[in-house]
Structure 1
Amino acid sequence: MMTNLFSVFDPSSSIFNLSLNWLSTFLGLLMIPPLFWLIPSRPLLIWNSTLNILHKEFKILLGPMGAPGSTFMFISIFSMIVFNNFMGLFPYIFTSTAHMTLSLALALPLWLSFMIYGWINHTQHMFAHLVPQGTPGILMPFMVCIESISNLIRPGTLAVRLTANMIAGHLLMTLMGNTGPSLSLILATLLIFMQIALLTLESAVAIIQSYVFAVLSTLYSSEVN
């Protein structure tokens, strides 16, 4: 019995006091090795072209001062998030990205590493970044406070944005699906079409949120260089 609406997203299957739901995060590792031994298929070619486009875009965002190969880190983050988002759309598969445990574990180390690197290697630039160019002198103390707060809440906003967008669609699909047995045949048929439309929308959200997370992480990295 559900204690609240969000209890359907709680890890439930366990053995030896270890939650097995989080294993869904690593299911993609089972699919990677066969790709190196098979003839490239159309989905694989589409995925490779997508990664090439992301590599070029992230390289532009990082600018000429970006470290070589740093785009691959953000591409890997995008790949992991979009895979877990899509896995959550299948029945009886745990959605790890709908939990702050995973999203905050991704956002916080990234932000913390950027801040440590920036304040150690580019201290003057980091201080100058707290006061936007053209700010009147009387507003400078307030702008320092505002910019400091906006920097501190960045990992929280990254994590909450991903979690909230993933859990909202799943929650709506769960609520709509629970009303199915009590509906008439006509309304149940209409509900199925609505669920299909919502599933299509969730597929788009899965890609968009992965892209937003990766792009914002890239922008935060470019600010410290």
Structure 2
Amino acid sequence: MPQLISSIAQLLWPLIALMAIFVFRRAIGRVLRTAEKRELEFEIGGQRLTMHELNDQQNEMIQDLQRQLSLLSRQLEERDRIGATALETAKLVPAPALPEVPDISGDGEGELPPVQAPVGPEPSAVLWVAEKPEAHAILAEQLRDNGVRVTMVSTTDEALAELSQRPYRLIVEDMGRKENGRWRPDAGLALLGELRDLGVDTPVIVFSTQRAQQQYGEQARQSGAVGTTSSAYEMFQNFQSFGLL
């Protein structure tokens, strides 16, 4: 139940933002159409984006949020159904006697060790290996607004060169990207293999399309990725879990 409440709470702020966008969508639409005609550009997350590109990213994030809310709704309905069934079953079965629990208060045994904060010259730094860096501009901007240094590179060789120069808290990589002028749908696996061979233990999260997630997600996790996702919202949660947001 606490986990469920936490999930709902984490979705409240995006839901409020989503409602605001829906309420003012006509006015926002007029502004966007006017700006597109003028071909305005913005610098976001270290990338230059046109209003059209920015609008596309926002729409994709809204659609992703809608999918997450729909999934949460189905999970709530399923838990309610299971809970109701379990309650009816419990009424028919007498509760077993509980064993006595020894008093261990004050001895400190069984407690989880405290989580250690990352250490190093730059504990809040993300290396992002992206086919199109501008496609991740909004997420990168959120990290930078929180004081995180974000370095964008496009290939495995560039990533390895960067890692040889400075430490990173987290590596994010697109699964599919061009390597040596040739498109590789499994380029993310190649970088994971290189990191493993070099003994680099920096956590890696693979960000991909849903199709690539289904095709290569399990291989990526077996190759050492701490997570794989096709969701911008899940990526936001991953950044939070690493203390970057």
The structure carrying a bigger helix percent of its residues is 1
TM-score higher than 0.5: no
TM-score (norm 2): 0.24
CA radius of gyration, larger in: 2
- TM-score (norm. length: structure 1): 0.26
